[in-house]
Structure 1
Amino acid sequence: MYKRKPDGWLKHVDFIILDLLSMHLAFVIAFVIRQGAALPYADSFYRNIAIVLSLLYLVVIFLTQSHKGIMRRGYYKELVASVKHVTYIVGLLLCYLFFTQTSKNYSRIIFLIMWVIQIGLTYLFRILWKERIKRLSESGEGHRSLLLLTTSERAQKVIKTMKDNNYEYLKFAGVGILDKDICGREIEGVSVVANVDNVLNWIKQNWVDEVFIEMSTEMQDAVISQRLVDSCMEMGITVHRKLAKNIINSRNQSIETLAGYTVLSTSGVNMVTTKQLFFKRIIDICGGFVGCILTGIVFLFVAPYIYVKSPGPIFFAQVRVGKNGKLFKIYKFRSMYMDAEERKKELMAQNEMQGFMFKMENDPRIIKGIGSFIRKTSIDELPQFWNVLKGDMSLVGTRPPTLDEWEQYELHHRKRLAIKPGITGMWQVSGRNNITDFEEVVELDTKYILNWSFKLDILILLKTVLIVLKGRGAA
């Protein structure tokens, strides 16, 4: 799935939450200073006014758009903006108390102290959070990996503009200069990694979430082949083009802003909103937390059996390929002997799967007894809840391939990982347990990606539980 960039106030939901926290913290501190008592929420009058404050806060951010352009504001302008923001809230609160004739129930000194403290906290939290965003932007941690395709004449200006407006957590994977070959050089600190001849090859071999094509319409028509755009879409990579004209007939298109540029975004996968991804992540966190507790309990019972049957680590860790080629370590309870990976090469001739996955009914690498049991009951998958909690995986998605499988993928296979990999997914619960053709797996995974919804996720999770209870896990 491709996450559409939020517009309006949702773009700054992090600052909205921080400002809300600073307001309530200031309210609590002011109450304690004045009353010398416990939390104000224990008092029914002040508990009610806390709710009113929260509602007034929402009114202020909607009416004043106080977070608009927040990343471009310097220290002084941010101080002025913070004073205005807090003053509007406290001013509306005083108006509310006046018109409802309830001011006699509250201490005005508390609101005065709160006003002063809230200005300080709001300003401090905003400055610290902006510094954190800038550090993350420089390090690339947690960012989307973007390849810029442009010309030698425009590259410096484009990169500088994008860096100055980079609130959208972008990390440059590199820049492709398409009018000449200057690979190996740097422009504004970004490496030139490709030219017009090898750009598609470079994308296939590296971690790229998105591609941004920035050049004149004439240059795009002359240099950018439709094959390049189609190939990126086939791999599940989103292509942004500086807005010129509708270049592809696709339902998954939208006009967006990207680091200061207006672009036409075209994706080969389902486009979702920030709110949808937020709630999906909340479900993942809740499920991951419960799953980790369950994993800890199960560990106490299965760990001794695994160690007795095959001395060595209880957990099996392996590098897998995640969303759009990003590598991560997946964790499982070890169900195979220690030399399983080495023996896999010897058993490839007996692989029952057509394509790029390995499957064998009576795999001799599985630990006798306990190994078969934890695989049949899917207990071996439980440690992956830690991957879900970390954000490497989702509860529902597509299964992450090994490195050797990934290297053999054709373009359309890569779409499987245009989303976060999951513990369970469409093909695992499809009722087609004996699939031996990898293309069928790809077909089902693609169906999930193109038709994703919360309803579908819940349905897959419920089916997964039923399958596990019936003991129809992996062989």
Structure 2
Amino acid sequence: MLKEHSSLTLDMQKGIDIGITAFSFIAAYFIKRNLLPGKFSTLSIEPNYYIILLLIIIAWYISFKWMGMYMSYRQAPFWDFFKVILKSCFMGMIFVSIAMYIFHIQGISRLLIGIFLILDVCLLTLSKFIIFKSLERIRTDGFNTRNVLIVGSGNRACQVIDAVEERKATGYRVLGCFDINKSKLGEIVTNEHKVIGLVKDLEGYLRDNIVDELIFAISLKKLKKGDRYIAFAESMGIKVRIVPDWELHYLMYRPDVATIQFEEFLGIYNMALQSTPQNEGKMLIKHAFDFAAAILLTLLLLPLLSVIALAIKFFSRGPALYKQERLGMNGRRFMVYKFRTMVENADEMLKELAEMNEADGPVFKIKDDPRIIPHIGAFLRKSSLDELPQLLNVLKTEMSLVGPRPPIPKEVDDYSVWHRRRLSMKPGMTCLWQIAPRRNDLSFEDWMKLDLKYIDNWSLFNDFKILVLTAKAVLTGSGR
């Protein structure tokens, strides 16, 4: 998963909180001057309340940061947010008072300040509560969940499971535990969670199941090949957490592509290795842009989509759309949509054509595929217009506009371990391979390297650049 405390996320939260604080002061000024009865509604010309507002914005900005306002919504309880809000407002008021003393600012209305503080605390609390409960509801409904696999079955494993069970709204789901002792297989660890496998079989389980985070809750000294398992998970893009005794040095392990960070997991301190993009704020913008752009493009391209569908029906029997099972992020299965460019029984003909495969690796490609629909199929594939129905997959949040192409399950069965890391990011309609010169002449290994290059160097700018170059490839027909 992506790092919770990205710089852009923090900037967005700070902007909202400062905006609420400024609004609270302006509203308090309006209430004091216009809504209170009698003598309570008067305000002197001095001091300059614009200066007071500026001091409050500066003081509250510093206070929010110092008091730890920007905690993880997934891991911190709401009560912690409320306490930090109170502390921040109290500290901010101290800063403002000191500044007023230094600059000899006098005559400010105490009643106005009181109204401001009440409004600010209430509105900040309300905003945090709405965000907190909205995210909690999303996770409770089964969205944005995280599948957790635990290595170990002792006290540390019980501690992790108890923490997850106590706060199910965080969206973490325990798949089970793995142990080194065969006699413990099938035993209940705690809360009905069992030892479901042995550490020696861990690699196979990670290959065949959807695992978002792997937590080592066992002394690493007990694992004979601990570095191998960590490297294996890292190579697949699975986030690794190590609950201390902090003995990674014992293994002499050095991560290849993952970054190491120390985090708090539901109150349990751990060391995490992560090899996927970690800027959650920018990823949030990416997802929002994907959804908005997919809606807009679907509406704008509706006439074109209709013409393509009618043309397919005219030149070939069968449905206009083709559905195929693909693998998404960390192996999640979904049905991908495409315009049908092959005859109706194309999948059945594949066995007969297997010996003609011109691609290396676990993919199938031939230049003059006899299964292509006459007159229109080759054009759709060359222009990549056959991929347009995947806008529906983007709207269903199964795909992004830009990301590694989603493979079919059979291909993934033949992947090497390092190939699997391309599944650690949400698949997309286009990526570096789609815009590569003579892309069909690239080897399978080069294709995989391009996808991992995209993941390792991901940025919003690169996504925009890929979209522009993809549009150019579609318009010039250079897609094949």
TM-score, length of structure 2 as denominator length = 0.76
Residue 170 of structure 1 aligns with an amino acid whose one-letter code is: Y
Distance 2:378 2:202 in 1: 46
The answer to whether 1:368 aligns with 2:374 is yes
Aligned to 2:426: 420
How many matched pairs?
459
Residue 173 of structure 2 aligns with an amino acid whose one-letter code is: K
Distance 1:69 1:307 in 2: 51
Distance 1:335 1:61 in 2: 56
Distance 2:3 2:460 in 1: 17
Which of 239, 242, 247 matches 1:244? 247
Structure 1 pair 382–155 and aligned structure 2 pair: CA distance change class (3 A): same
Which of 372, 393, 397 matches 1:391? 397
Structure 1, unmatched stretches of 5+, are: 37-44
Residue 182 of structure 1 aligns with an amino acid whose one-letter code is: L
Structure 1 pair 301–90 and aligned structure 2 pair: CA distance change class (3 A): farther
Deviation at 1:390, TM superposition (A): 4.1
Distance 2:120 2:299 in 1: 39
Distance 2:392 2:59 in 1: 39
Contact 2:5 2:72 (8 Å CA) reproduced: no
Helix, strand or coil at the partner of 1:226: helix
Distance 1:52 1:159 in 2: 46
Helix, strand or coil at the partner of 1:317: strand
Deviation at 1:380, TM superposition (A): 1.5
Structure 2, unmatched stretches of 5+, are: 36-47
Moved more, 79-88 or 425-434: 79-88
Aligned to 2:268: 261
Aligned to 1:176: 178
Deviation at 1:133, TM superposition (A): 4.3
Contact 1:5 1:256 (8 Å CA) reproduced: no
Matches within 5 A, 1:6-405: 6=5, 58-68=61-71, 73=77, 82=85, 116=118, 119-137=121-139, 140-163=142-165, 169-179=171-181, 180-183=183-186, 185=188, 187-220=190-223, 222=224, 224-242=225-243, 243-246=246-249, 247-250=252-255, 252-259=258-265, 260-267=267-274, 269=275, 272-281=278-287, 283-285=289-291, 287-310=293-316, 312-405=318-411
Contact 2:147 2:174 (8 Å CA) reproduced: yes
Deviation at 1:464, TM superposition (A): 2.2
Contact 1:66 1:81 (8 Å CA) reproduced: yes
Deviation at 1:206, TM superposition (A): 0.2
Structure 1 pair 93–3 and aligned structure 2 pair: CA distance change class (3 A): same
Contact 2:298 2:391 (8 Å CA) reproduced: yes
Distance 2:300 2:71 in 1: 44
Structure 1 pair 10–430 and aligned structure 2 pair: CA distance change class (3 A): closer
Helix, strand or coil at the partner of 2:439: coil
The answer to whether 1:445 aligns with 2:451 is yes
Moved more, 252-261 or 126-135: 126-135
Deviation at 1:381, TM superposition (A): 1.3
Which digits, 9 at most, give the CA deviation of each residue in 1:127-151, with x for residues without a partner? Answer: 4544454455556521332211113
Which digits, 9 at most, give the CA deviation of each residue in 1:195-227, with x for residues without a partner? Answer: 22322221111011221112224324x4x4433
Distance 2:50 2:373 in 1: 59
Which of 393, 411, 416 matches 1:410? 416
Deviation at 1:325, TM superposition (A): 0.9
Helix, strand or coil at the partner of 1:434: helix
Distance 1:250 1:195 in 2: 24
TM-score, length of structure 1 as denominator length = 0.77
Structure 1 pair 132–462 and aligned structure 2 pair: CA distance change class (3 A): closer
Which digits, 9 at most, give the CA deviation of each residue in 1:164-205, with x for residues without a partner? Answer: 578975332332233343337463254432222322221111
Which digits, 9 at most, give the CA deviation of each residue in 1:105-124, with x for residues without a partner? Answer: x9999987676555445444
Distance 2:19 2:452 in 1: 41
Moved more, 201-210 or 107-116: 107-116
Contact 1:149 1:211 (8 Å CA) reproduced: yes
Helix, strand or coil at the partner of 1:405: helix
Contact 1:399 1:421 (8 Å CA) reproduced: yes
Distance 1:351 1:47 in 2: 73
